[in-house]
Amino acid sequence: MDAEVAVIGVGTMGAMTLWQLARRGVKAVGIERFNPGHDRSGAGGESRLFRTAYLEGSHYVPLLRAARDQWRELEEETGHDLLTLNGGLMIGGADTTFLRNVRASIEDHDIAHEVLDPAAMRRRYPQHPLGDGEVAILDHESGYVRPELAVTLAADAAERHGARVVRHRAVTRIEPDASGVTIIAGDETIRARTAVVAAGAWTNALLPGLTPRLDVQRLIMTWFPARDVSRFRTDNFPIFIRQTGDYDISGWPSLDGASVKVAVNHGWDHVADPDRLDRSVDDRLTALIRNAVAELLPDLYPEPVRVGVYMDGYTADKDSFVGPVPGLDNVIVLGGFSGHGFKMSPAIGRATAELVLDGGTTLPIGHLDPQRFHPVRTVADRLGLTG
Amino acid sequence: MDADVAVIGTGTMGAMAAWRLAEAGLSTIAFERFGIGHDRSAAGGESRIFRTAYLEGPEYVPLLQRSLSLWRDLEGHSGQPLLTLTGALMIGVDGSPHMANVLESVRRFDLPHETLDRAQMAERYPQHVLSDEEFAVLDHAAGVLRPEFAIIAAAERAAAHGARIHPHTVVEELAPDGGGVTVRTAGRTYRVRHAVVAAGPWTARLLPRYAGRIEIRRIVMTWFRAADPAAYAPDRFPIFIRQDNGVDVFGIPTLDGGSVKVALVGSYGTVGEPEQLDKDVAPADLARVSSIADAYFTGLHDYPHRVSVHMDGYTPDGHPVVGPLPGHPNVIVLGGFSGHGFKMSPAIGQAAADLITTTTTDLPIGHLDPQRI
């Protein structure tokens, strides 16, 4: 065996998993087709949301709180600020599924928050003029994380704990068997007891049997100049999600002292081949976000001055795959984070390390089990005759 | 007549020209094919360098000094910081032509500066790893400009003085004659007394004489994570340019609290049609800048986590083209800034306004005369 665990892809999930394995003393190797910290996949763009009152469902909250603790541990180990909890405004129609889910998270898990009506918003956050019937919920357990710093620092920390990172090496095939996994990367072969596939947009190619297939989509981030940037600082402009009319957008405070990132909360289009990610964005495609900014954020100039292009794999239910791959021995997949994975990455790394070491995890990730799309066990399954 | 002047292209130079023209009292229309502040041409990528001790030649110094006062004027109106003085380290080998230009700029114009040998650099700026034969000149009249903001601020000032700005409007044809200039867009035709062509990489499409004479090159900016962000903050890490020993690299302190811009000059290829600018940089093409970030600096990550791609027109001699179009005195061309125009854009805009209002300017732009290309 070359290693106990081989992590394929040292991006967001891979770097966190490698760190969590290495700090537990596991002999681990990470294999990255570019270099940790590259901007060609899911991570990047200066900031990512950290949210706890979770519109995707109250059942995520314990995992998100575990993630917050893991972010703090990574910060302590590296000496860098990675997670800033400056609050999160969830803005929308009072009686929408979006805010019902946010309220359910708050009530089920006692999240510190405030409900702000239009008058309170005018007073406290005049950057967001609300429409009729709209309300904001300020979640005090929300904020943002720094993606590029986090991925590179986690990879560096893993190496300090003894992990090996193989750079600029693309894995072409994995061959699992009863006693381990053979990983073929060009002319190099690595043998490990367990493989963790955290290959982002390349997951489909490495796991041809994984179903349903991940739908890889472009994530596009756009930055808009502020008319007065002092109104968009971390201390007076919480992160936000807003669903108004046809718009579903997120925003962050200005981190560069000039521009404010406002992004659309869904994929922009489909990526046929992740090796050919198109980094240019047509003006016709940015019309949706330009219009949203013009209508909802009058203190910003509605023209993007920076455009960042990334990609992520989406599942049908927008819950990711975290766990053993159905039908493959010794292979764990971390994929399909559907545009909302970054915040939880250090907890996903911890859960994966526990799955590898203990065969199970105390973190609540049952809803992410890749088996959920394979609920019907056949006679052959029951008799152990499936390979 | 629809206006005294039409400005074609409201990017870096066009926005500045529109501001200076409108403030001088001329009725001005400006056209821009994208939005104001867009990232599809030369400007963008968070920061640009301002410096005065000029390695391209001391003849630029008065333009830079005039620009400094115009930057402050614009900043005062916009209410936001546009230029932060950090100083600039010009690093090179004694006796090289560009270090000679830096020293000559300093001497001729009595610029505030310090000369730092390798030991002094190691003491004061240990972020830089210098070789035995290198030294630095610290230019105090230098710092970081915010390009997107600056363009928007200039366009806003132009509008405040009455300029009519038309974003998302492509000028398809420009026809000067003895009595004025006809400017045709998809929607309508305008008749103006003068035109300023500041169309960046699209210049040759309107002025075919520049096809093949101004080469469009890709400009690639790359950012690296600092192990100690405080060591690369603007108060401890001046902007720098470092040439010689086979490198031509520049850098800007961290503005976002974690990322340092270290970028290579040249070496990323040319662009055919400006619409086809490739915004992607292949990983193999990042190997060289990565190895430089690793070898020439202390505590930078060995791979860029942010890459942005821009483009500029380059002339054969590396000097811009600023002045009346040969044979057509009512058309002023501002082009071919060869990768070093942003810092001087307010003075270039002023020169264009001067040429239109008085047919002459007291700014020294003789070396930028379009006749030479």
Q: What is the pLDDT of residues A205-253, one digit of tens each?
A: 999 989 899 999 999 999 999 999 999 999 999 999 999 999 999 999 9
pLDDT, tens digit, 9 for 90 and up, residues B20-40: 999 999 999 999 999 999 999
Residue A321, C-beta contacts closer than 8 angstroms, at least 6 positions apart: A210, A315, A333, A334, A335, A336, A368, A370
Q: What is the DSSP letter of B257?
A: S
> Which residue in A35, A165, A227 has the most chain B C-beta atoms within 10 A of its own C-beta, making it the best mutation to test that interface?
A35
What is the average pLDDT score of chain B? 96
Average pLDDT over every residue of B87-101: 96
- Let me know: does A9 contact A197? Beta carbons within 8 Å: yes
Average pLDDT over every residue of B203-230: 95
Instruction: Band the pLDDT of A376: cuts 50, 70, 90.
Output: low
Question: When comparing pLDDT for B143 and B267, which is higher?
Answer: B143
Contact check, Cβ <8 Å, A258/B304: no
Burial B130-165 (b: 16+ CB within 10 A, else e): beeebbbbbbbbbbbbbbbbbbbbbbbbbbebebbb
- What pLDDT is stored for residue B145 in this prediction? 98
Residue A164, strand partner residues? A29
- What pLDDT is stored for residue A378 in this prediction? 75
Average pLDDT over every residue of A310-325: 96
Q: Tokens 């314990």 map to which residue?
A: A62
Average pLDDT over every residue of A248-260: 96
Choose among B146, B279, B303: nearest Cβ to A258. B146
**Angle (deg, nearest 10), helices A147-160 and A61-78:** 60
> Beta strand pairing status for B164-166 and A28-31?
unpaired
pLDDT, tens digit, 9 for 90 and up, residues B340-366: 999 999 999 999 999 999 999 999 999
Average pLDDT over every residue of B206-234: 96
- What pLDDT is stored for residue A386 in this prediction? 65
Enumerate the residues of chain A whose CB falls inside 8 A of the CB of residue B279: 279-280, 309
Contact check, Cβ <8 Å, B80/A37: no
Average pLDDT over every residue of B270-285: 93
Q: Given CB atoms, is B34 within the 8 Å cutoff of chain A?
A: yes
Enumerate the residues of chain A whose CB falls inside 8 A of the CB of residue B15: none
Q: A 208-227 residues with CB below 8 A of B?
A: 225
Q: Given CB atoms, is A373 within the 8 Å cutoff of chain B?
A: no
- What pLDDT is stored for residue B368 in this prediction? 98
Distance in angstroms (rounded) separating the CA atoms of residues A225 and A220: 17
Distance in angstroms (rounded) separating the CA atoms of residues B65 and B74: 14
Full strand arrangement of the beta sheet holding A83-84:
A48-50, A143-145, A83-84
Q: Given CB atoms, is B72 within the 8 Å cutoff of chain A?
A: no
Contact check, Cβ <8 Å, B167/A303: yes
d(CA A35, nearest CA chain B) in Å: 7
- What pLDDT is stored for residue B259 in this prediction? 94
Contact check, Cβ <8 Å, A46/B256: yes
Average pLDDT over every residue of A272-297: 95
Chain A residue with the nearest C-alpha to that of B225 = A149
Distance in angstroms (rounded) separating the CA atoms of residues B352 and B23: 13
Contact check, Cβ <8 Å, A228/B80: yes
Distance in angstroms (rounded) separating the CA atoms of residues A358 and A361: 7
Residue B108, C-beta contacts closer than 8 angstroms, at least 6 positions apart: B58, B61
Average pLDDT over every residue of B137-158: 97
Enumerate the residues of chain B whose CB falls inside 8 A of the CB of residue A255: 256-257
Q: What is the DSSP letter of A226?
A: B
Residue A311 has pLDDT above 70, yes or no: yes
The DSSP element (H or E) to which B233 belongs, if any, is none
Chain B residue with the nearest C-alpha to that of A286 = B35
> Beta strand pairing status for B189-197 and B180-185?
antiparallel
Name the pTM for this structure: 0.95
List for chain B the helix, strand, coil content (%; round to 5): 30, 30, 35
Residue B64 has pLDDT above 70, yes or no: yes
What is the average pLDDT score of chain A? 95
Distance in angstroms (rounded) separating the CA atoms of residues B66 and A104: 60
- What pLDDT is stored for residue A317 in this prediction? 92
Contact check, Cβ <8 Å, A149/B225: yes
Contact check, Cβ <8 Å, A148/B148: no
Q: Given CB atoms, is A103 within the 8 Å cutoff of chain B?
A: no
Instruction: Give the rounded percent of residues in chain A with a pLDDT score beyond 70.
Output: 98
The DSSP element (H or E) to which A352 belongs, if any, is helix A345-358
Enumerate the residues of chain A whose CB falls inside 8 A of the CB of residue B259: 46, 148
Where do the H-state alpha helices sit in A114-250?
118-124, 147-160, 203-206
Contact check, Cβ <8 Å, B168/A283: yes
Contact check, Cβ <8 Å, B283/A306: no
Contact check, Cβ <8 Å, B255/A257: yes
Residue A387 has pLDDT above 60, yes or no: no
Q: Given CB atoms, is B152 within the 8 Å cutoff of chain A?
A: yes
Residue A239, strand partner residues? A88
Enumerate the residues of chain B whose CB falls inside 8 A of the CB of residue A290: 35
Q: What is the DSSP letter of A244?
A: E
pLDDT, tens digit, 9 for 90 and up, residues B124-146: 999 999 999 999 999 999 999 99
Residue A110, C-beta contacts closer than 8 angstroms, at least 6 positions apart: none
- What is the ipTM, given to two decimal places? 0.94
Contact check, Cβ <8 Å, B283/A40: yes
- What pLDDT is stored for residue B80 in this prediction? 86
Question: When comparing pLDDT for B288 and A329, which is higher?
Answer: B288
Q: Given CB atoms, is B148 within the 8 Å cutoff of chain A?
A: yes
- Integer angstrom CA distances of residue A147 from A151, B76, B357: 6, 35, 51
pLDDT, tens digit, 9 for 90 and up, residues B289-307: 999 999 999 999 999 999 9
HSE of A10, CA atoms in CB hemisphere, 13 A: 34
Average pLDDT over every residue of B164-175: 97
Structure token digits, residue A339: 């545009």
